[in-house]
Amino acid sequence: MRSEELGETLLPKRLALPIFASDPLSSVAYATQEILLVLTVGGTAFLYLTPWIAAAVVGLMVVVVLSYRQVVHAYPSGGGSYEVASRNLGPNAGLVVAASLLVDYVMTVAVSVASGVDNIISAFPGLDDHRVLLAVGFVALLTAMNLRGVRESGKAFATPTYLFIGAMLLMIATGLVRLAFGDAPVAASAGYGVEPEHGKDALAGIALLLLGLRAFASGCTALTGVEAISNGVPAFRGPKSRNAATTMAAMGIIAVVMFSGVTALALIAKVHIAEDACQLTGFADCATAPQQTVIAQLAAATFGGSDSVMFYVIQAVTALVLILAANTAFNGFPLLASILAEHRYLPRQMHTRGDRLAFSNGIIALALVAGGLLWLYDADVTSLIHLYILGVFTSFTLSQTGMVRHWNRALATETDPAVRAGAQRARVINALGALTTALVLVIVLATKFTQGAWLAVLAAAVLWVMMRGIRRHYDRVAAELSLTDPQDASVRPARVHGIVLVSKLHKPTLRALGYAQAFQPDELEAVTVAVEPDSTAELHEQWDAAGLGVPLKELASPYREITKPVTAYVRSVRQEHPGDAVAVFIPEYVVGHWWENLLHNQSALWLKSRLLFTPGVMVISVPWQLNSSARADRPARRAPGAVRRGEPQPPARAQDPAKTP
């Protein structure tokens, strides 16, 4: 796609919702499950805390969604939490947010795909041995789809996301209707007991409070990805801020309804699930058989068993949307990396769009790291979840604190009563968001640090240090290259000393010599290294007989080296005439097969790598195309879409008359 076609990739709200909100919408498939997994540490005695914890998660989600609606209006350029923190709290705070979000985007891909594979295995337990292969394969598929471009991936992901929303609402409504008519759904695990890890009486007082806080921290996975819309405002059609805010409100309402419904249905159906299946008394073959997910148990209980059509429909759309939920990260990570690269905190390549107008380098980097995590942790959701959400709440807290400062500055200069009233209302919302998310951050850090969250903290810290180092490098290079004096641009060398490197007298040497003479240097000489005395003497005879008019200088090499004598001689020329420029001409072969590079040009490669570090020395490669290189000059095949774009057919290769029948 051409650069001017970028506007055609902007998203309407109906496509922006599945692209940017599939992560928080799909998290209802495992958020309730994570709460139950923590509470069953004490057996079934503490499941009564579930509705209170769920209510706290819902309240937090409402506060966060309202807070981020203020962000998309105040900062429509798409930096999201990073831009808010950078502008209002300083660049270091902005980098903390950026590092946290980059880590969290990676975890979003890993956890979403692993959870999706879990739901597939719930329907087809025989696939349990291929868990990692399935997960890595899905990451590769998502990568390929996103490399096709934002709009194309949005179209592909919209239908599964809307099917998932419809299926969840249908399951919740069916379960509640059955309850109203006295036929409440009952999960297959309702008859299982749960053996507490430490005994019921061991969890009281402070221990019980910590258990509740840990369950709340796990349930907060429902909020992952909420900030993605604020990062992706530039991808919306105009009016961008209003459309982004509307999409965020729709996402919040749908997520709250589905999370509340799934949690209520899990309590009604008496779903029992544990981190270790052998804690479930009555669960057959606990050592090898995988547990069904909460969604799978609810679908079976609501629609008449695990062999019903709707059970497989629910599992299919849940698995699909969980895998596609990683698309939130595949859009957010490259966008954020592009902004960071523009600000010189990441390599410039991250800011470059590919031929489909997607940030290809960011997409590939995300896929490689997420795939590596899935392989390292065996695509196990419970292991990966401990590394999750810490980055989210770090960015939540700092961005909302930054928004409070933003409104303070705005109120200091604003005089219009209506505008001031809106700013004051927004400040209250953001202040509430900052306080609540800071509290949750402390809870998450305290309850999950030793269980794996320390690794996420370490990764974010390493990223922060690395980004500061990259910025310092770019700043140092910019200062070094800047024109401090306009006269610097007109500085010319006093003379040019040309050196043609010669190994033997053949066609490539003559071409290099002719090219050097065309430059008309002030002084030109040919240089050879005397590795073998007989060959060197023969070269001198051939050189004199050819009458080339250019002197041939011989460099001694008692240890049969080529690179050191040449570099030493070139440096000596520079030292004798510091104001001169030295132009070194190196004949090189151009080959058509990759393996031919192993057979040729090795000495030239080493020479160039050393000479390029010598100030005042220009290294000029003079190519000689071998016959095998002709294959690289063939007309290129037409790229995909060439016919649609109206590109002309490449000219046919001329046929050899001698081979014509």
Dist CA 51 CA 30 (whole Å): 16
Cα–Cα distance measured from residue 634 to residue 589, given in angstroms and rounded to the nearest whole number: 18
| pLDDT for position 79 | 62
Residue 437: count other Cβ atoms within 10 Å of its Cβ. 27
Compute the C-alpha angle 445/449/452, nearest 5°.
Answer: 135
Question: For residue 168, what are its two tokens?
Answer: 């969840």
In this structure, are residues 198 and 42 in contact, taking their beta carbons and an 8 Å threshold? yes
Task: Output the pTM of the full model.
Answer: 0.71
Tell me 236's DSSP state: B
User: pLDDT (tens digit, 9 = 90+) per residue, 423-464?
Assistant: 888 889 889 888 888 888 888 788 777 777 788 888 889 999
Q: Where does residue 539 rank: exposed (0-12), middle (13-18), buried (19+ CB within 10 A)? A: buried
Element (H, E) at 470: helix 453-481
Mode of pairing for the β-strands spanning 523-530 and 496-501: parallel
Helix (H) or strand (E) segment spanning residue 180: helix 150-180
Share of the chain above pLDDT 70, in %: 86
Q: How far is CA 373 from CA 51, 102, 111, in A?
A: 33, 14, 10
Structure tokens at 385: 């979840």
- Whole-Å CA distances, 389 to 103, 225, 291, 396, 598: 10, 9, 24, 10, 49
Round the CA-based radius of gyration of the chain to a whole number and report it: 33
> Which residue is it, tokens 């095998």?
628
Give the pLDDT score at 608: 86
pLDDT tens track for 480-511: 877 776 665 556 788 899 999 998 898 999 99
Q: Pseudo-torsion of CA 183, 185, 188, 191, nearest 10°?
A: -60
The least confident of 227-236, 251-260, 399-408, 635-644 is 635-644
CA distance 226 to 20: 8
Please classify residue 502 by burial: count the beta carbons closer than 10 Å to its beta carbon, then call 0-12 exposed, 13-18 middle and 19+ buried: buried
Q: Residue 598: is its pLDDT beyond 80? A: no
What pLDDT score does 224 carry? 76
Average pLDDT, stretch 109-121? 85
Taking every pair of C-alpha atoms in the chain, what is the biggest distance, in angstroms?
A: 110
- Give the contacts of 8 (CB within 8 A, at least 6 positions apart): 1, 151
The pLDDT, as a whole number, for residue 526 is 93
How far are the Cα atoms of 506, 513, 516 from residue 520, in angstroms, in the given order? 22, 11, 7
| Tally of CB atoms within 10 A around 311 | 23
The helix (run of H) or strand (run of E) holding residue 36 is helix 28-39
Burial of 124 (0-12, 13-18, 19+ CB in 10 A): exposed
* pLDDT-wise least confident of 104-113, 222-231, 369-378: 222-231
Contacts of 605 (CB under 8 A, 6+ apart): none
Output phi, psi for 523, to 5 deg.
Answer: -145, 135
**Range with top average pLDDT, 156-165, 181-190, 223-232, 501-510:** 501-510
Residue 103 in this model has a pLDDT that exceeds 60:
yes
Kindly provide the residue ranges of all beta strands, DSSP E only, lying in 437-574, ordered along the sequence. 496-501, 523-530, 552-556
Cβ 102 vs Cβ 333: under 8 Å: yes
Question: pLDDT-derived band of residue 187, with 50, 70 and 90 as boundaries?
Answer: confident
Where does residue 569 rank: exposed (0-12), middle (13-18), buried (19+ CB within 10 A)?
middle
How far apart are alpha carbons 105 and 225 in whole angstroms? 8
Instruction: Kindly report, residue by residue over 604-633, the tens digit of the pLDDT.
Output: 888 888 888 888 889 999 988 888 877 655
The rounded mean pLDDT for the chain is: 81
Q: What is the pLDDT of residue 661?
A: 43
Greater pLDDT, 516 or 232 = 516
Pairing of strands 552-556, 523-530: parallel
pLDDT tens by residue, 332-375: 788 888 888 888 898 888 777 655 556 778 888 999 999 998 99
Q: pLDDT per residue over 228-278, tens digit each?
A: 787 778 778 878 888 888 998 999 999 999 999 999 999 998 888 877 667
- Token duo for residue 213: 């806080």
Q: How far is CA 632 from CA 337, 355, 593, 624, 659, in A?
A: 35, 22, 9, 14, 21
Q: Which long-range contacts (CB under 8 A, 24 or more apart) does 91-97 make?
A: 93/398, 93/402, 95/345, 95/464, 95/467, 95/468, 96/394, 96/398, 96/460, 96/464, 97/394, 97/395, 97/398, 97/399
pLDDT at res. 154: 56
For residue 524, which amino acid is it?
Answer: L
- pLDDT for 235 equals 77
470-491: b or e for each residue (b if 16 or more CB lie within 10 Å)?
Answer: bbeebeeeeeeeeeeeeeeeee
